[in-house]
Structure 1
Amino acid sequence: MSDNAPPIDFAGLIRDGDLVVCGQATAEPATLTEALMAQAPRLPPFRMMIGPIFSETFSTASSPNVAFQSYGVIGNARRLAKAGRLDVIPSNYSAFYADFAARRHKADVVLVQLAESSGRLSASLSNDYVIDAARGARLVIAEINPDAPFTFGAEWPGDVPIHVRVSARRPPVELASPPPDDVSRRIAARAAGLIADGSTLQFGVGRIPDAILSSLSHARNLGIHSGLINDAVVDLIECGAVTNAEKGIDAGITVTNQVIGTQRLYRFVHENEAVSVRPTSYTHGQDVLARINRLVAINSALQVGLDGSVNSETLNGVTIGAIGGQLDFVRGANASPGGRAIIALPATASDGISRIVANVETVTTPRADVDAIVTEWGVAELRGCGLAERAHRMISIAAPEHRDALSARFRAPAR
């Protein structure tokens, strides 16, 4: 096969109305997805289920034959959403996974990136809903990538057939950590004060979570049980801050659902028995999270209301974020012995508009589940507080230029 020849001809493989599911984030099988998008104009109409996108594969997908769906708007999926081409399923990440396991979402074709070592196959960078989607699919096409790390916990199940194998033509997608700025450093300094030695960390993608992780090199006996790990985790392990010794479960093991980073991280996790890439039912399961000692969930938001309600999904009626695993981990941290649920965000958006608002337009995490809100201006401890006290504390961590307006919007309840 010449370099210019397609790795696979999808004609006859994709049927009218099919739901095609592909690996998400750095687990995207880019050789397959690029070929599919190139051939889409001559294929029958089909639906494409995507997750976070960090490649350019779908950013210029112009064929009207493809209807895109996702559980949120993350990374380059924002371009599809802005063009009005992304139908968002508002679902907690754990529920989205369970919907594939229960066949509420029924995949017809699954495209997956796999690693191979000594005849064994691994889902490598993500142990998510794709395996359950593949278990019930008509056709499973695997891209075997020699540059993808073989990870333990994500071994490909023997009862899930692979119908077609192709060789990858490019290394896995990478996502480098964004450099911290002054605001994220100030937020990180505030949040770090809430994270005790021996805590187990969960965190997401972005400048603020990365800045918080980077501020914890002084800590001792931290653990990791997260929806993802990135390059910053390697730093914490190598400096001795992360030992996974006091988690209560999985002693000595970094547990994650996805691996999102650069080749440095991929080399670190390759055949590393101290890292386990586990299925969503384990990484996000409430029964599991409640057994972890001092689980600290670190998540972000678009807005937080004066009552503590958190919006991570929409602005001005447009979906630009996701529920993701935020509520799964907030509730898990609240159930964990000594756990903390931190929502960290800048006090203002890039246009100067306050992200602390009187009322959020969409509730992602209800006010009853909220613990601590952190901005560069301080920490609002909300657990157990009444509405008046919550408003007072939230206004105190808003940007100073917005505090008077927020105070004017707040009306204390009658006594």
Structure 2
Amino acid sequence: MPENAAQIDFTGLIRDGDLVVCGQATAEPVTLTEALVVQAVHLPRFRMLVGPLFSETFSACAPNVSFQSYGAIGNARRLARAGRLDVIPSNYSAFCADFAARRHRADVVLVQLAESDDGRLSASLSNDYVIDSARGARLVIAEINPDAPFTFGAEWPEDVPIHVRLAARRPPVELASTPLDDVSRRIAAHAASLIADGSTLQFGVGRIPDAILSSLSHARNLGIHSGLINDAVVDLIERGAVTNAEKGTDAGITVTNQVIGTQRLYRFVHQNRAVAVRPTACTHAQSVLARINRLVAINSALQVGLDGAVNSETLNGISIGAIGGQLDFVRGANASNGGRAIIALPATASEGTSRIIANVETVTTPRADVDAIVTEWGVAELRGCGLAERARRMIAIAAPEHRDALSAQLRGVAS
């Protein structure tokens, strides 16, 4: 049993059939979730709603607990592969809105909060569905984490009650950057050619977004309006590449929905008014994104079809990704003045199979919304292209050893 697992007794707090919602990603309240996992075998059956998991908390959990999520990100993939994760196929922004509209209802909410010197509370590292789920919950339990940064924009509303408060015994979850490799650097070099000075960036988690951000240190007047920020953003700000001066909105402010990184990032955002951690109604809304100048959306994929359709969700019928904010930001970038929507991925999977294929098994971003696809072999500019030209351009950025087979498939379809 972890040292902190006995700090709270969930007996009588969790009822049969409850939906328990906990903070996601680095906002997971680990003191609470570890205790819940240890005690789960003695509790009634309940459902656990999770987002991306970057801790090991749920690596072993009693069979009376079932899991739900809007995707399988990070260690949530283990739950999906084990058949224990029910994925709700929803855009992340719509998933959050469903809690606000009470289409999803939580019974118990577990949350990690930061507290300022004057007693104000902040949701700290993520301004997601937790606040809205807490509004209608029977029980809200908060761990106050002295190592969590107090962030502006994510202040805990005074009208949302907290029924139980306790002190966290662990610092927040951290997610360090993955070391770059040759493939990610080559992808980044191609993607960087599409990003002009004065662009505003949106990006996700992983080696490729990190590589692209690291390649932009000599850019000028970049802005950030993203679903998340990470340690690479601190590098760009400290090097003067990010000023947020030309966004057309929120001048001088880095806007994000989540903070996912290490203590270095957490120290940077702590009580920093130049960073705003806002809800999806601000970070993902089309009306907001369309007003941003030169919004460049940088997202990844598991597969891309020859017609440009993007799959970021499933492989062989198993969820190992999510819709997330991809479609919101792709469409927002397409609506932005001077914007670009980049889907970046390695041309081959780890086992050597092509990630450029004839037809994807799940469509996350429809072919009608696709702008540019980037692999280590180049850029396929697809906007405005017919299907035949799209296929030719996609084959040109596939790995050389797979191009003949893809061309043969294309001829078969054409005949």
TM-score range relative to shorter protein = over 0.9
**C-alpha distance in 1 between matches for 2:251 and 2:53:** 32
Report if the CA contact (8 A) 1:230-1:260 is conserved: yes
**C-alpha distance in 1 between matches for 2:245 and 2:218:** 16
Residues 46 and 413 (structure 1), Cα distance of their counterparts in 2 relative to 1, 3 Å cut: closer
**C-alpha distance in 2 between matches for 1:83 and 1:294:** 42
TM-score, length-normalised on structure 2?
0.98
Show structure 1 runs of 5+ residues with no match: none
Report if the CA contact (8 A) 1:358-1:409 is conserved: yes
Report if the CA contact (8 A) 2:4-2:169 is conserved: no
**C-alpha distance in 1 between matches for 2:7 and 2:209:** 38
- Cα deviation for residue 411 of structure 1 reads 3.6
TM-score, length-normalised on structure 1?
0.98
Report if the CA contact (8 A) 1:31-1:170 is conserved: yes
Task: Indicate yes or no: 2:368 matched with 1:368.
Answer: yes
SS of residue paired to 1:296? strand
Task: Indicate yes or no: 2:317 matched with 1:324.
Answer: no
**C-alpha distance in 2 between matches for 1:59 and 1:366:** 34
**C-alpha distance in 1 between matches for 2:317 and 2:54:** 24
Match of 1:192 in 2: 192
The letter for the 2-side match of 1:101 is A
**C-alpha distance in 1 between matches for 2:317 and 2:108:** 33
SS of residue paired to 1:78? helix
The letter for the 2-side match of 1:374 is V
SS of residue paired to 1:154? coil
**C-alpha distance in 2 between matches for 1:303 and 1:4:** 42
Residues 414 and 318 (structure 1), Cα distance of their counterparts in 2 relative to 1, 3 Å cut: closer
**C-alpha distance in 1 between matches for 2:355 and 2:286:** 29
**C-alpha distance in 2 between matches for 1:414 and 1:281:** 44
Match of 1:334 in 2: 334
Match of 1:99 in 2: 98
Aligned CA RMSD, in angstroms, stands at 1.3
Residues 272 and 106 (structure 1), Cα distance of their counterparts in 2 relative to 1, 3 Å cut: same
SS of residue paired to 1:47? strand
Report if the CA contact (8 A) 2:5-2:38 is conserved: no
- Cα deviation for residue 319 of structure 1 reads 1.1
**Equivalent runs, 1:71-220 vs 2, <5 Å:** 71-117=70-116, 118-220=118-220
- Cα deviation for residue 51 of structure 1 reads 0.1
SS of residue paired to 1:58? helix
Report if the CA contact (8 A) 2:347-2:399 is conserved: yes
**C-alpha distance in 2 between matches for 1:192 and 1:148:** 33
Residues 297-331 of structure 1 deviation map (CA, whole Å, 9 limit, x = unaligned) = 00000000000000001111111111100001000
The letter for the 1-side match of 2:292 is I
Report if the CA contact (8 A) 1:27-1:124 is conserved: yes
Residues 42-99 of structure 1 deviation map (CA, whole Å, 9 limit, x = unaligned) = 11110000000000000111x1110100000000111111111111111100110011
SS of residue paired to 1:281? helix
The letter for the 2-side match of 1:297 is A
Number of aligned pairs?
Answer: 413
The letter for the 2-side match of 1:119 is G
**C-alpha distance in 2 between matches for 1:307 and 1:355:** 13
- Cα deviation for residue 128 of structure 1 reads 0.3
**C-alpha distance in 1 between matches for 2:367 and 2:323:** 15
SS of residue paired to 2:324? coil
Report if the CA contact (8 A) 1:388-1:413 is conserved: no
Match of 2:242 in 1: 242
The letter for the 2-side match of 1:291 is R
**C-alpha distance in 1 between matches for 2:412 and 2:136:** 54
**C-alpha distance in 2 between matches for 1:85 and 1:51:** 14
Residues 101-154 of structure 1 deviation map (CA, whole Å, 9 limit, x = unaligned) = 111110000000000002100000000010000011111000000000000000
Match of 1:8 in 2: 8
**Equivalent runs, 1:50-61 vs 2, <5 Å:** 50-61=50-61
Residues 208-253 of structure 1 deviation map (CA, whole Å, 9 limit, x = unaligned) = 0000000000100000000000000000000000000000000000
SS of residue paired to 1:162? coil
**C-alpha distance in 1 between matches for 2:254 and 2:414:** 50
Residues 139 and 186 (structure 1), Cα distance of their counterparts in 2 relative to 1, 3 Å cut: same
Residues 252 and 405 (structure 1), Cα distance of their counterparts in 2 relative to 1, 3 Å cut: same
- Of all paired residues, the percent bearing the same amino acid is 87
The letter for the 2-side match of 1:325 is G
The letter for the 2-side match of 1:40 is A
Task: Indicate yes or no: 2:280 matched with 1:280.
Answer: yes
The letter for the 1-side match of 2:98 is D
- Cα deviation for residue 6 of structure 1 reads 1.3
Match of 2:37 in 1: 37
SS of residue paired to 2:184? helix
The letter for the 2-side match of 1:367 is R
Match of 1:64 in 2: 63
Report if the CA contact (8 A) 1:388-1:412 is conserved: no
Task: Indicate yes or no: 2:248 matched with 1:256.
Answer: no
The letter for the 1-side match of 2:113 is L
The letter for the 1-side match of 2:179 is P
**C-alpha distance in 1 between matches for 2:190 and 2:292:** 24
**C-alpha distance in 1 between matches for 2:27 and 2:51:** 10
Match of 1:387 in 2: 387
**C-alpha distance in 1 between matches for 2:26 and 2:377:** 34
